[in-house]
Amino acid sequence: MMRLLNYRWIQRPVPNPLGEEKATGVTRFFSDMFPQGCLMAKTVRSPHPRAKVKGIDVSQALRGPGVQAIVTAKDIQGLNAYGVFFQEAPVLASTEVNYVGEPLALVAAETEEQAEAAAEAVRVDYEQLPFISSMEEALGPDAPNILPDGNIARHCVIEQGDYRKALAESHLVVKNTYRTQKQKHMYLEPEAGMGYLDEAGVLNLFVGGQNPYRDRLQIARSVGLPKEKIRVVNFPVGGAFGGKDEITLQIHLALLVLKTRRAVKLVWSREESGAAGYSRHAFKMDMETGVGRDGKLTANRAVLFADTGPYMSFGPSVMDVAMETVNGPYIVPHYFIEGTLVRTNNGMSAAFRGFGAPQANFAVESQMNIIAEELGLDKLELREKNIWRSRARANFGHELGNCEGLRKCLEKASRSALWKYRGNIRPARPWLKSGVGVAVAMKGIGFGVLPDYPAAAVEVHPEGHVTALFSNPDYGQGLIVSNAQLVAEKFGISPSLVKVSNADTNFVPDTGGSSASRSTYTSGGALLDSCDKAIAALKVVAADALHTRPDAVTYSEGMLRADAGELDIFRAAGLLKEKGAPTKFVGTFAVPRFDSPVSGSLEIPHMVHSFAALLGEVEVDTLLGTVRVKRLLFYPDIGRVINPVIASAQCDGGLMQGLGYAIMEEHVYDASVPKTRNFTTYLVPCPTDSPVEIGTEFVESTEATGPFGAKGVGEIPIIPVASCLADAVRDATGVRLKQLPMSPGRVLSSLPDQKPAEATA
């Protein structure tokens, strides 16, 4: 057994210093900036899902009052395309448009009203073209090609063993098709930014984003400036959830500032965000899963299709994560996984908390629950028979790390009173039906095989504090306090002495972005390395001051000690400064990676995973079809918990977004026109949807490669919610829904006494 270490500053609910400031309205978001003389900008967007652009006439718009500039594709000095993996999406469309909301021109004027009027006065001559509104159409024989390379953006197959033979010899084969919908991020602060050129000619951009250095690269590539002439600041941000991981308006803002040489502010309206912002990929998943008489999985065949919109953006990552997730955290000896990323004219899909994991989890966990029902096995017992074991060879050929936490998650769930006494819940009215469901989840931390070289820094100030510098934006996760705790723990000083400099390319090293549950793991690792470097350098200068050798100096709790005396790190930093030596130390972190990606994929496999088990209780109104979520009991393994309050806040948030995904949220496209662009038409959970009981109980677990044993928490809570609640609805009503969301209409029409013909279980 490992010795339980007694930590001083981690594993504690240190309050987030931003909490009060945000609560009292003191924090200024970029939307809140109103610099004097700042121009207001608007975007001219396509009303058509697909059209040829025959001309853009800005002459009348330019004559509008207050109009300072109109930017079109002609103004782009660099590459008129963006995209994290493949640069397919035009920065500004000039010859054709491929989705409703695609940007064609930008207007800057003295006031918002003037900019709006001028944007309306821009004349675009369109020739409408046939468009593709579904994956089935896109793959049909007569479909027009959205891009010259065809409507299949990516296709890959991962195979092991002989799934055909294994399925044929299985005791039981469960075959089903699952469908999931597009989900919108609906952050409360829409895409927003403000930019200006400073006296040194540096383009300063304050924009809601998730990865300042990568955004800077994309901006530089398009506007034709060297990266060093651009500063990107991504803090604070009013919500992101993956929807600000790709470029949104950064390049537009840069073009406007460069053309006008003035400060410019660009904020998307809710409706613009609803139409032109990104969404989660809709999936269709054909599953065939085999199991032996002993309850051990024999084979899995998963054929996945995802609607990526006209341009891929994060599509390859989303599909890879889905393919990696669709076997679950289970040993599957034989499998065939096929992923097809399909182009349509239904707006752009990109990253959303969990990438493709919530989708694939809905399929594989529903399969597991059906298998348990068919075999008459306890659902958690079936999982226990199949879960990954530590150090075992995983499905994709790599050796698994520590998976003990996964087993503990299952144990905790099976011991809970809700699971033990699930048959005893009696609803208050005869038309209400209660049920309890279960699901298990896994999520790889970080980018898998993709390059990831995070760097962060600490600076020790003679004035008496330490600054932690990292680029992963804190857009609400609480990274600012948890990273301060990590640095405090390492130095042995109070977190109140640790200040943070966050997400500003002028001041912090490139730690990468906040996505893929990687922030604590990567920035934490790099910060601890920089602390080690700081302490080593401070020992040298202290040895000098104390007339001894560096190896005779010991360090603890902010003090450097030798036989001859002692001094604190701040005084030692002062001595370094006097010698002209740096007091800022850059550290790095080597993300463990498998030598090469699994053939056909970009990033499979991941080496480190978070895990979870989730129990959910629902009450289904069989007259109205409404699903009321009464309880969500969550048992995650996120490694060492740095701050239990903010970690459980992350879990609440992921569970609530998962609840929305499961029972109400759907971004509807009708003939490729987005219909759900605001909070009236696109429903998200509100306070009354908050369950009677929502609780997170972390299992004790440590990851050897993580900072003080931490992994990641951002995505794991959203992943198992839909599959768990589908199981709870099945337990309540006898009907298992295989399509999301489980909205009242869909629930009602599936119930046997309502429409017997459609009651397919």
Partner 1 sequence: MLRLLREDAGLTGAKPGCEAGECGACTVLLDGQPVTSCLVLAGQVDGSEVMTVEGLERHGKLKHLKHAFADEGAVQCGYCIPGFVVMSYAAIRDGKASDIDGLKKALEGNICRCGGYPKILAAVTASAESGKGGP
Residue in the structure block whose two tokens are 């009981």: 693
CB contact burial 665-697 (16+ within 10 A = b; e otherwise) = bbbebeebbbebbeeeebbbbeeeeebeebbbe
Instruction: Select the residue interacting with partner 1 from 7, 431, 453, 679 (CB under 8 A).
Output: 679
CB of 635 to partner 1, least distance (A): 16
CB of 187 to partner 1, least distance (A): 6
- Quick one: residue 734, left, alpha or beta (phi over 0 = left, psi -120 to 50 = alpha)? left
CB of 670 to partner 1, least distance (A): 21
Of the ranges 15-23, 93-101, 253-261, 722-730, which one interacts with partner 1 (CB under 8 A)?
A: 15-23
Of the ranges 18-26, 366-374, 411-419, 433-441, which one interacts with partner 1 (CB under 8 A)?
A: 18-26
477 near partner 1, rule: CB under 8 A: yes
Radius of gyration of the chain (CA): 27
Q: What string marks each residue from 94 to 133 as x (binds partner 1 by CB under 8 A) or -?
A: ----------------------------------------
Of the ranges 117-125, 452-460, 549-557, 677-685, which one interacts with partner 1 (CB under 8 A)?
A: 677-685
CB of 277 to partner 1, least distance (A): 13
25 near partner 1, rule: CB under 8 A: yes
Q: What string marks each residue from 239 to 258 as x (binds partner 1 by CB under 8 A) or -?
A: xxx-----------------
Q: What string marks each residue from 207 to 236 as x (binds partner 1 by CB under 8 A) or -?
A: -----------------------------x
476 near partner 1, rule: CB under 8 A: yes
310 near partner 1, rule: CB under 8 A: no
The CA–CA distances, whole Å, from 319 to 153, 226, 323, 460 equal 11, 33, 6, 43
688 near partner 1, rule: CB under 8 A: yes
Of the ranges 160-168, 382-390, 563-571, 683-691, which one interacts with partner 1 (CB under 8 A)?
A: 683-691
352 near partner 1, rule: CB under 8 A: no
197 three-class SS: strand
Give, in degrees to the nearest 5, the angle at Cα 618 between 614 and 619.
Answer: 175
Q: What is the DSSP pairing of strand 455-461 with strand 584-588?
A: antiparallel
Instruction: Select the residue interacting with partner 1 from 49, 685, 707, 712 (CB under 8 A).
Output: 685
Site for partner 1 in 501-540 (CB under 8 A): none
653 near partner 1, rule: CB under 8 A: yes
CB within 8 Å of 354: residues ≥ 6 apart: 321, 443, 715, 718, 719
CB of 720 to partner 1, least distance (A): 15
Residue in the structure block whose two tokens are 């119930």: 751
Element (H, E) at 121: helix 112-121
Q: Could you give the count of Cα atoms lying within 13 Å of 685 in the half-sphere of its Cβ?
A: 21
Q: Is residue 486 within 8 Å of 524, Cβ to Cβ?
A: yes
- Write the DSSP assignment of 54-88 as a string of letters: EEEE-HHHHTSTTEEEEE-GGG--S-S-B-SSS--
- Which segments of 444-518 does DSSP mark as H helices, in order? 479-491
Count of residues that interact with partner 1, criterion CB under 8 A: 57
Q: At what angle do helices 379-386 and 357-375 cross, to 10 degrees?
A: 110
Question: d(Cα 748, Cα 622) in Å, to the nearest integer?
Answer: 7
684 near partner 1, rule: CB under 8 A: yes
Question: d(Cα 543, Cα 560) in Å, to the nearest integer?
Answer: 9
Residue nearer to partner 1 on the CB measure, 38 or 748: 38
Instruction: Select the residue interacting with partner 1 from 18, 122, 413, 716 (CB under 8 A).
Output: 18
Instruction: Select the residue interacting with partner 1 from 88, 96, 102, 189 (CB under 8 A).
Output: 189
Contacts with partner 1 by CB under 8 A lie at: 13, 15-16, 18-20, 22-29, 31-32, 34, 185-190, 236-241, 269-270, 475-478, 645-646, 648-650, 652-657, 678-680, 684-690, 694
